[in-house]
């Protein structure tokens, strides 16, 4: 009898564990479509935005690992900045590469549909705007601020360590080290690369937990 209860407890525990793992991998991060169904658009004739982006943002809860999905076309731009001055100025002309990024749609033509997915990888305030039409889009409301909370933290796919730093070969006499390319640390870069590795880590963890039970 004791054996039967034991193995039942064991199976319930295993079932709970997998249930938890499954629900965590699906329901924990949110994709926020900017502006809701109206998307991220500006009408150059009426000078109106298709949604009130500040009002939209105020109704959302943003956490690490969530995405902003900009459903738009190439007549608008998607600029992310952590610098409030850049945001208030509606321009990235004087912005630093360290705190301001433009997400590209991959087309130079006007009016081409594009969808931009921006992962939220840093806690705290951050700002978005479109600098198209020399900043008038932004001045007329193509801009909003969000505050990113911790939530359950970044998923492994967005939480990659920075690449190892460049080590000067011992033989070279050059004193100057080459500029460090920061492209790989951009939030959008190569999130897929580590998924095989993280799968392995998860598998090992699962095996460990099962072993302990």
Shortest spacing between CB 106 and ligand NAG, in angstroms: 15
Q: Which positions from 22 through 41 interact with ligand NAG, judged by CB under 6 A?
A: 31
- For CA atoms 44, 82, 72, 62, give the dihedral sign: negative
Among 59, 93, 109, 162, binds ligand NAG (CB under 6 A): 93
Q: State which residue, 99 or 123, has the beta carbon closest to ligand NAG.
A: 99
Q: Which tokens sit at 140?
A: 């007329």
Per DSSP, 91 falls in state: -
Q: Which positions from 142 through 201 interact with ligand NAG, judged by CB under 6 A?
A: none
Give 148's strand partners: 62, 124
Contact status: 117 vs ligand NAG (CB under 6 A) = yes
Q: State which residue, 125 or 197, has the beta carbon closest to ligand NAG.
A: 125
Give 129's strand partners: 79, 143
List C-alpha distances in Å: 31 to 148, 164, 206. Answer: 13, 31, 28
Q: Which positions from 59 through 88 interact with ligand NAG, judged by CB under 6 A?
A: 67, 73, 75, 83, 85-86
Contact status: 95 vs ligand NAG (CB under 6 A) = yes
Instruction: Choose the stretch contacting ligand NAG; rule: CB under 6 A; options: 15-23, 110-118, 121-129, 192-200.
Output: 110-118
List C-alpha distances in Å: 94 to 14, 74, 123, 137. Answer: 56, 22, 24, 18
Shortest spacing between CB 119 and ligand NAG, in angstroms: 7
Cβ neighbours of residue 148 closer than 8 Å, sequence gap 6 or more: 62, 63, 64, 66, 120, 122, 123, 124, 125, 126
Q: State which residue, 57 or 95, has the beta carbon closest to ligand NAG.
A: 95
Among 1, 4, 46, 110, binds ligand NAG (CB under 6 A): 110
Distance in angstroms (rounded) separating the CA atoms of residues 3 and 9: 10
Contact status: 207 vs ligand NAG (CB under 6 A) = no
Given a contact cutoff of 8 angstroms between Cβ atoms, the answer to whether 62 and 41 are in contact is no
Residues that bind ligand NAG (CB under 6 A): 31, 44, 67, 73, 75, 83, 85-86, 89, 91, 93-96, 99, 110-111, 117, 135
């Amino acid at each position: 009898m004791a054996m039967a209860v034991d193995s039942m407890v064991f199976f319930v525990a295993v079932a709970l564990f997998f249930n938890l793992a499954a629900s965590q991998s699906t329901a924990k991060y949110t994709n926020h479509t900017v502006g809701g169904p109206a998307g991220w658009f500006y009408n150059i004739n009426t000078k109106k935005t298709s949604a009130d982006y500040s009002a939209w943002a105020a109704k959302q809860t943003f956490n690490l690992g969530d995405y902003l999905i900009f459903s738009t076309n190439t007549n608008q731009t998607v600029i992310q900045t952590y610098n409030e001055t850049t945001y208030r100025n509606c321009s990235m002309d004087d912005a630093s590469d360290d705190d301001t990024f433009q997400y590209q749609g991959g087309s130079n033509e006007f009016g081409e549909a594009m969808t931009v997915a921006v992962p939220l990888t840093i806690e705290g305030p951050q700002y978005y705007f479109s600098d198209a039409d020399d900043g008038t889009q932004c001045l007329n409301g193509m801009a909003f601020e969000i505050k990113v909370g911790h939530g359950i933290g970044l998923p492994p796919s967005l939480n990659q360590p920075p690449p190892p730093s460049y080590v000067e070969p011992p033989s070279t006499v050059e004193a100057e080290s080459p500029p460090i390319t920061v492209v790989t640390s951009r939030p959008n870069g190569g999130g897929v690369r580590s998924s095989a590795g993280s799968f392995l880590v998860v598998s090992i963890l699962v095996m460990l937990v099962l072993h302990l039970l």
